[in-house]
Amino acid sequence: MVNWSRIRLSYSDHTGDKVKNWLQERWRSWRVARAERDVLAAYRADYGAGVHLHWWERLRAGVGLFFVVTLLGAGLTLLVGMFFVGLTILIETLV
């Protein structure tokens, strides 16, 4: 809302420049406020009701998780297998 009491219309260039500068400042601050409001709305849309991911982002995250779990499982299996193989070799050499 424009505060008309701050605008002083006059025939002098100085007052015209003051009015122009004031209107430009109001426009700048309105644009900044609108940009901040848009960013906040986008943040709330993404994170307010849970993260919204597109199907390809979900697929990429799922594939990555699958590979991580698979590699951890394979590594753990190899580690346990090597433990039992070593234990078997140790028992065979002692007996």
Model pLDDT, residue 58: 76
Model pLDDT, residue 29: 85
With beta carbons less than 8 A apart as the criterion, state whether 65 and 73 touch: no
pTM comes to: 0.39
Estimate the share of the chain in helix, then strand, then coil, as percent rounded to the nearest 5. 85, 0, 15
Model pLDDT, residue 80: 96
CA quadruple 14, 16, 21, 25: dihedral positive or negative?
Answer: positive
pLDDT category, 78, cuts 50, 70, 90?
Answer: very high
Tens of pLDDT, residue by residue over 56-76, are: 777 887 888 888 899 999 999
Tens of pLDDT, residue by residue over 2-55, are: 665 565 554 455 666 777 888 888 888 888 888 888 888 877 776 665 566 677
